[in-house]
Amino acid sequence: MPPRLPTKKQFSFWSTGDQLTRYTNDTGRPGPGGGTRTLTSAGPAVAEAAAAHAPAHPVRPWLDRRRIMAAYTVFAGYAVIDAVFSAGEDQVWAIWAACGYAVTLLMLWRWPGLRVRTAAVLVSVALAVVAPLLWLSVAYPLEDGMHVIERSAALLLHHGTPYLAGTQITSWLSYNPYLPVMTLFGLPAAAGLGGLAGNAGVWLALGTVVPLAAAFWIAAPHRHCPDCRRDTLLATAIAVASPVIGLNLAVITTDPPVLALMLLSLALAVTPQGMKATAARTVASGAALGVACDLKSTAWLAVPVMAVMFAARDGARAMWRFLAALAVTVLALIALLAPAALVRPGAAAALVQNTVLFPLGLTHDKTPAESLLPGHLLTAMGTAGHVASVGLLLAAGLAVAISLVIRPPRDVPSATWRLAAGLALMFLLGPDVRFGYFIYPLGLIGWLALTRQATSPVPQLGGKGECEDARDSGRASWRAGGTARRGARGAATRTR
């Protein structure tokens, strides 16, 4: 009979499945008395079997080669359809992206190695994001939103507020629907930098990739082993290259950095199963969401969802710690980037008019953005339709609030799904909402998929990552097996 393998598996977290996992009864690991566990009479066989047949580290399914190829097939199909039926900047992105996705699929199909997998995904980032972003930044004029951001930065430097007063509004382009932190992306141009260095779109891309990579890195508990660092790079590259984020980065919209900061806040709230978040992680999660809420109002729904999640999982004190960190961050950033709003009533009124009333369509001048979403179609029917749209939006918010009371989310995946569903409802029913806002629910679900693992996480007990511990365990078992084999050969020699 073949030797029995060790049985009690200690699960680990967040890997592509290319590493070994460790077992609690591995030979050669320290014993409870400080000594080293020894082999029984079947020691060599057990050691060899453990070293040769140790099962794979629990996998993250969507970093598997076949699933990456399936995802990129969908990406390529979307890009081809967009290239045929769209026009302008979207079509330019679609042509570049279709080529990038095709090259990536060819590399993944032709060379199955792990290094090629990472290289192929990085090629898609270069062709589907970086190349069209640079092309469009040079060949096309800035989007209206980028002009608004650059103007708001100039207003901040000269008047202490990024918003025009009601008496200065002359058209819908006079409004600045973004919150104060968005002004940061226009400061390089306002400071006199030209070219790509002063392009707000380039800074928006950097402001997206950095927190997004941090969100994936923080979600991996083993941050010191090469395999887990590769997983972080791979997941980040897939997310950036996907049409959900890549298209918005290339044509320059303001939503990607907001989504990235929301994901960072969620990642900081992740804990091993059965454990509570530390005070530092709770505060950091609140601060990250505070920055997102000071970028754009679309992040506001995450506040009650995450607050309820902290209360249900970690207790009321954790919830208040999270909310306090968020409030302090929001107020500090407003004081820094819109100080006049805190001391002048007119500036405070301008902030509300620009960031609350204008997005809801409650100002004289309205956005010309069009879509076929139910809320926009209702608004197009006149005053009664607009009132109905706002009412449905409030009803959706109330439904989310009731669901949080009746069945509060008790972990980050549950909170993420609740947030994605709530945002999707609000975008469907809200007035003057475009399809691009669905970057949020799609991005949240995509992050869950890329960070999902096949097994449940456990606390990391040692200083090294599970992947390194697994390799050490295999080496220890092999060394112990070698010692036992040499002892057996010596005994046989003496017998002869």
Q: Spell out, as residue ranges, where the chain has pLDDT lower than 50.
A: 1-58, 456-466, 468-478, 492-496
Instruction: List, for residues 206-215, the tens digit of each pLDDT value.
Output: 999 999 999 9
Q: Which residue ranges make up each domain of the chain?
A: 141-451
* Helix/strand/coil for 10: coil
Q: φ, ψ for residue 57 (rounded to 5)?
A: -55, 140
Alpha-carbon distance values, 362 to 27, 133, 329 (Å): 70, 34, 28
Q: Do 94 and 80 form a contact (C-beta atoms < 8 A)? A: yes
Region of residue 315 (phi > 0: left; psi between -120 and 50: alpha; otherwise: beta): left
Q: Is residue 434 a contact partner of residue 405, using CB atoms and an 8 Å limit?
A: no
Q: Give how far the C-alpha of residue 341 lies from the chain's centroid of Cα atoms, to the nearest Å.
A: 31
Q: For residue range 224-240, what is the model confidence (pLDDT) as tens digits? A: 777 778 888 899 999 99
Rounded alpha-carbon distances, angstroms, from residue 230 to 249, 401, 409, 446, 449: 23, 39, 31, 18, 17
How confident is the model at residue 141, as a pLDDT? 79
CA 328 to chain centre: 23
Place of tokens 């007063």: 165
- Report the C-alpha gap between 481 and 496 in whole angstroms: 23
pLDDT at residue 474, rounded to an integer: 43
Q: Phi/psi of residue 56, each to 5°?
A: -65, 150
Q: C-alpha angle 447/334/394, rounded to 5°?
A: 60
For residue 38, the model assigns a pLDDT of 43
Render the burial of 321-343: b for 16+ CB within 10 Å, e for the rest. Answer: bbbebbeebbeebbeebbebbee
Instruction: Count CB-CB contacts under 10 A for residue 69.
Output: 15
pLDDT at 378: 73
Tell me whether residue 393 is exposed, middle or buried, using C-beta atoms within 10 angstroms of its C-beta: 0 to 12, 13 to 18, 19 or more: buried
Output the six-digit token pair for 199.
């392009």
How many CB atoms are closer than 10 A to CB 60? 24
Alpha carbons 229 and 85: distance in angstroms, whole number: 39
Residue 52 burial (CB count, 10 A): 10
Q: Please classify residue 1 by burial: count the beta carbons closer than 10 Å to its beta carbon, then call 0-12 exposed, 13-18 middle and 19+ buried.
A: exposed
Instruction: Report DSSP letters for 335-369, one per residue.
Output: HHH-THHHH-HHHHHHHHIIIIITTTT-SSS----
Query: What's the burial of 118, exposed, middle or buried (CB within 10 Å: 0-12/13-18/19+)?
Result: middle
Check residue 456 and give its pLDDT.
43
Q: How far apart are CA 58 and CA 64, in angstroms?
A: 12
pLDDT confidence of residue 412: 94
Angstrom distance (rounded) from CA 487 to CA 479: 12
Q: Cα-flanking dihedrals φ and ψ of residue 9, to 5°?
A: -85, 135
Residues 114, 56, 68: CA angle, nearest 5 degrees: 40
The span from the CA of 271 to the CA of 251, in Å, is 36
Closest CA to 411 of 293, 269, 299, 234: 269
Could you give the percent of the chain with pLDDT greater than 90? 44
Structure tokens at 476: 């220890």
Choose among 330, 328, 306: nearest CA to 318: 306
